[in-house]
Structure 1
Amino acid sequence: KRLRLRESDGSHLPSRQLRLFLPPRAPYPPAGRSGWKLRPTEDAEPEGIRSLQGPQPAAPPSLATRRASLGLEFQRKPSGRPRRPPNRRSSRLTSAGVEPRAPRPAFLLQQCVDEVLENRIDVPKTALPENLYNPRKEDITGPGPGPGPGSEPGPLCPEHGQALRWFCCSERRPVCAACAGLGGRCRGHRIRRAEERAEELRNKIVDQCERLQLQSATISKYVADILPGKNQRAVSTASAARELVIQRLGLVRSLCESEEQRLLEQVHGEEERAHQSILTQRVHWAEALQKLDTIRTSLVDMLTHLDDLQLIQKEQEIFERTEEAEGILDPKESEKLNFNEKCTRSPLLTQLWATAVLGSLSGTEDVRINERTVSPFLQLSDDQRTLTFNAKKSKTCADGPERFDHWPNALATTSFQAGLHAWTVNVENSCAYKVGVALGQLPRKGSGSDSRLGYNAFSWVFSRYDQEFRFSHDGQHEPLALLRCPAQLGVLLDLQAQELLFYEAGSGTVLHTHHASFPGPLFPVFAVADQTISIVR
Structure 2
Amino acid sequence: MASSSMTGVCADELQCIVCLELYEEPITLPCGHSFCKVCIEQHWESREEATVCDCPNCRKVFPIKPECQKNVALAKLVEQMKLVPGVNVEKIKLVPGVNAEKTKLVPGVNVEKMKLVPGVNVEKMKLVPGVNVEERRCTEHGKPILLYCKDDESLMCVMCLVGQHTNHKVVPVELVHDEFKGVLNAKCPELSKSKQHLESQLHQLKRQVEQTQHSGKGTVDRMEEKRLALYQYVDKSVDLMKSGVIKRQNEKIFLLQKQMDKVKEQLNSLHETISTLKAALQDLETISFLQGYKDVIKRLESVSHFKSLKMAQPTVLDFSKEEKNLGSLIELHENFLKNIRKPVELQMSELDQSSLRRLYGRTPSVDPNSAHPLIKISRDLRTATRTETDNRYPEHPDRFDRCVQVLSSDCFSSGRHYWEVDVRSSSSWGIGICLNSMGRKGEGKECRLGENPESWCLQKYQNKYYTWHNCQGTLLSVPGDPERFGFLLDCEEGEFTCFGDSRVLHVFRGNFLVPVKPAIGVYGDGDSVRFCSF
Give the TM-score range, shorter chain: 0.3 to 0.5
Q: What's the TM-score once normalised by structure 1's chain length? A: 0.35
Highest RCO, 1 vs 2 (Cα 8 Å, sep ≥ 6): 1
Q: Which has the greater radius of gyration?
A: 2
Q: What's the TM-score once normalised by structure 2's chain length? A: 0.35
